[in-house]
Every structure is written in C-alpha cells, then in structure tokens.
Structure 1
Amino acid sequence: MAGRSFVVVGGTSGLGLAVARALAAEHRVAVLGDVATEVAAVRGELGCDGGVCDVASYAEVRDSFGWFAERYGTIHGVADCASVWAGGDLLDLAPERIRRAVEVNVLGTTYVCREALRQFHRQGFGNLVYVGAMAVVKARPGIPVYRATKSYGASLVESLAEAQHSNRVKVMQLHPGPMPTRLQERVGAEFLDTVYAMPDQVAPEVVRLLQLSPDHVYVSGEVVLRADGRW
C-alpha cells in the first residue's frame, strides 16, 4: 500500500489536516485549501504537495485535480473534508453567510465528487470519502442551514455510490460529531458535546477507507460510519 497518491480537500485544518498527517509518512499527499498561507504551512510541515482552491469554483476544482492527476498519474483516494459553518437561527443569519455555506457545502461537494469520480473512471478504480456531520443524523436547534447543506452532501454520496455499479470505484461517507477544531471554535462551546472524539481519533477511520483495495467488496454505498465520540 506504500507510495500511493491521495488528495485531501480541506486539508489545512481540523480533521482534514489530521488525515493528511496520517497519510504523509508513507504516501504522496496533496492538500487543497482556500488560504495560501495555510496551504504553504502544511506543505512545509508535511513535505507534501498542495494548492490553493476555492471549492465553490468549478474551474479551480477542475484545474487542481487536473494538475495532481498529471503529476501523480494515478489518484488512489480523495477525502472531501471541506466545510463551512452556518450556525444560528435562520432569521439571524446574514444572506452572505447562507450563500457561502451553500457554495462550499453544496456546490463545492458536488464539484469535488464530480472531478474525483471523473479521475477514478479514467483509471478504473479509486476511493472517495465524504466527511459529513452527525447533524445529518440528529436535528439540533440553531443549525438549520448547516444541517441542510450537509444533508445534501450525504444524499449526493448515497446516490453516487449506487450509480457506480462497481466496488472498484468506492464512494463512502463518515459523519463525525462535534470536534475541537477551528470550525468548532467558530461554532461555540454550546454545540460541543460532553463526549466527543478528537480529529486524530477519527482520522484513522478516514485513512482506512481511503486505502481500501480496488478488490475490497461490499463497501461502496453499503456502510455509513458515524463517529460522534460514542463509537
């Protein structure tokens, strides 16, 4: 399994960074983030590749995947960890915040899935892991827009998994609960459960899914893993 190539979207902080760290010791890793200084910092820390990409822009997602595919030849797995928080009562949310959540959590997820699957179909295999949220499973007050946008991602991934007709191209998802991350800092302590998992505790499960072999069957679309600290 050594020497494989992986792309971690949203790999500059939180769970995405933990996944990139776990992979970088043995594999070629490329991280995508929307802040140039953060991408540069992760590249320096991990010795990996990276690129600045706003996933809300299809052209940027397409060009980033094209560059990595040309550099690596094969992309064995893609972890989609990019997410924008939009907490608060709908009446209190600024339209700009609502729009950005939809751009990243809905359009961005769609664009990443599209380009990942395009590459996997070219090469005949590959693993796509979408990082959702426990909010999809359990409604909570104060997060209607965030939950709705993450529910879109879960629905998309379920449909895409069914559409592949082959376990050689695997589409999977994992739904973490609240974790002490930069996103959680923006959320506020009231949304952090008393029992929770740390990013480096959830990352190994994402890495395990990314590294499943093409011949590993009964995985794509069959298993939705939930990690909320209660395992």
Structure 2
Amino acid sequence: MGARTFVVVGGTSGLGLAVARLLVNEHQVVVFGNVPAEVAAATDELGCDGAVCDISSYEQVRDGLAEVVERYGTIDGVAACASMWAGGDLGDLSVEHIRRAVEINVLGITYLLREAVQHLHRQGHGNVVYIGALALAAPRPGIPVYRATKSYGNSLVDSLAEAQHSNRVKVMQLHPGPMPTRLQERVGAEFLDEVYAMPEQVATEVVRLLLLEPDDLYVSGERVLRADGRW
C-alpha cells in the first residue's frame, strides 16, 4: 500500500516509542503523549509529527485524531500504547491514583477506540492494536486496580472486534509480559520475569499487526500473548 499514516498513542517512551521508531522511516507517524516536553523530544528524535493529548479528555482525543485526518487524509492504524500503572494493595492506593488509573486505562481507552474506529469506518479500512498486559492471564493479588483496568480494555476490544463485521477494519490486541520500560521502573523489579522481552522486540509484533492489509482475513480480534520471551 506504500506509505501509510499511523498514530502511536503513548508514543513518547517505552513500547510506544519503539513502535514509532520502526514505522517512521517508511510511513507518516504521529505520536501522542500527555507531556509537552516528551512529545517535543520524541518528535525531534524521530523527525515526525506529534500532539499533546491526554486521552482521559474526550475532547483532546477527538480533536487530536481529527487533526491527523485533516493533515494526512487518512489514519491507517492506531497503536494504543498509553497506560497508567496502579500497583499495590487496594487499601494502599490513594483515591486520586485510583481515579487517574481509571481515567486513562478505562475512560481514555474507550474514548480513543470510539473515535479511532469511527475514522477507520468512514475511510473503509484500518487497524487498531490495543496493548494490554499478560497480567490478565492469572489473578495478581498485588495489582488489583491495574489488572482490573486492563481487563476492561481486553473486554472492550473483544466486543469491538466482533462488532466490525469486516476484516477491512481490524481491532486487535497484544498482551506483552513485563518489559524494562519507564512503566516497569515504576512497577519494581519484583514484577520483572527472569526471561523477558525488550520493547524493541515486542514492537515488531505491534507493527506486524498495524501493517496488515485490508484484505487480510481471519485476523480481526486477534489476541497475541507474550510469556517467557516467546510469542
């Protein structure tokens, strides 16, 4: 299909930045982040466009995606890499921390997928890749809020994928294990597996899904897990 346009949400660090790096040499890339200085640093490094967008604000999500469409004409894929960590026992988390995790991991992802899927349907094609977490595979008593919010995203993507009725608009998800990223630094070393993937390795799989063609069959709703360094 030649050069295409991709939006990487949470593209200023970690996995999102690794995804943007893999795409930028051959495609138009727009990175979204909620910290202006980080957006500026990422766009300077990559030589791509960027936008300050806090996905917990519906208006910022709506306007940010609309500006991409106005500039480039289409959005061929969206990588939903933004996430907020909320580790620790429920009683140890502040009310504000809980609220913010829900705003980003639940409301923000809902706003993002709502607007992204509508844009893709209007143009008749495109891919969405939601980044979940391998923590969903089994109960994790030390991260009840984080796991609950990521479970919401998993359920939302499952339902959206079934609702598309066309492989031309693909809604997929990928659930990597812990990676040495900035989020992982906040998590703590005790949550990092002995065998783990680097963000650059996981990014190749995200890009594979983003680059699927409109006519590729049997992939909408695809769920990819990474455990012990293997897909």
TM-score, structure 2 as length reference: 0.98
Residue-by-residue CA offset, 1:87-141 (whole Å, 9 max, x unaligned):
0000101011100000000001001101110100110011000000001112222
CA displacement at 1:226 relative to structure 2: 0.6
Residue-by-residue CA offset, 1:171-198 (whole Å, 9 max, x unaligned):
0000000000000000011111111100
What residue in structure 2 maps to residue 185 of structure 1? 185
What residue in structure 1 maps to residue 172 of structure 2? 172
Helix, strand or coil: the match of 1:26?
Answer: coil
What residue in structure 2 maps to residue 100 of structure 1? 100
Helix, strand or coil: the match of 2:6?
Answer: strand
Letter in 1 for 2:28: R
What residue in structure 1 maps to residue 146 of structure 2? 146
User: C-alpha separation between the residues in 1 aligned to 2:117 and 2:79?
Assistant: 12
Helix, strand or coil: the match of 2:31?
Answer: strand
Helix, strand or coil: the match of 1:29?
Answer: strand
CA displacement at 1:230 relative to structure 2: 3.1
Residue-by-residue CA offset, 1:131-180 (whole Å, 9 max, x unaligned):
00001112222100000000000000000000000000000000000000
Letter in 2 for 1:34: N
CA contact (8 A) 1:6 1:75 kept: yes
User: C-alpha separation between the residues in 1 aligned to 2:114 and 2:69?
Assistant: 14
Letter in 2 for 1:195: V
CA displacement at 1:32 relative to structure 2: 0.1
Give structure 2 stretches of 5+ with no counterpart.
none
Confirm whether residue 159 of structure 1 aligns to residue 151 of structure 2. Answer: no
Identical columns (%): 72
Helix, strand or coil: the match of 2:171?
Answer: strand
User: C-alpha separation between the residues in 1 aligned to 2:226 and 2:71?
Assistant: 33
User: C-alpha separation between the residues in 1 aligned to 2:141 and 2:194?
Assistant: 17
What residue in structure 2 maps to residue 225 of structure 1? 224
CA contact (8 A) 1:7 1:29 kept: yes
User: C-alpha separation between the residues in 1 aligned to 2:39 and 2:139?
Assistant: 33
What residue in structure 1 maps to residue 32 of structure 2? 32
**Structure 1 ranges of 4+ moved more than 4 A:** none
1:74-93 alignment runs, 5 A limit: 74-93=74-93
Helix, strand or coil: the match of 2:109?
Answer: helix
CA contact (8 A) 1:6 1:78 kept: yes
User: C-alpha separation between the residues in 1 aligned to 2:2 and 2:139?
Assistant: 40
User: C-alpha separation between the residues in 2 aligned to 1:148 and 1:59?
Assistant: 25
TM-score, structure 1 as length reference: 0.98
What residue in structure 2 maps to residue 206 of structure 1? 206
User: C-alpha separation between the residues in 2 aligned to 1:80 and 1:111?
Assistant: 11
User: C-alpha separation between the residues in 2 aligned to 1:89 and 1:133?
Assistant: 18
Letter in 1 for 2:42: V
Letter in 1 for 2:37: T
What residue in structure 1 maps to residue 130 of structure 2? 130
Count of residues in Structure 1 that have an aligned counterpart in Structure 2? 230
User: C-alpha separation between the residues in 1 aligned to 2:153 and 2:161?
Assistant: 12
User: C-alpha separation between the residues in 2 aligned to 1:230 and 1:67?
Assistant: 38
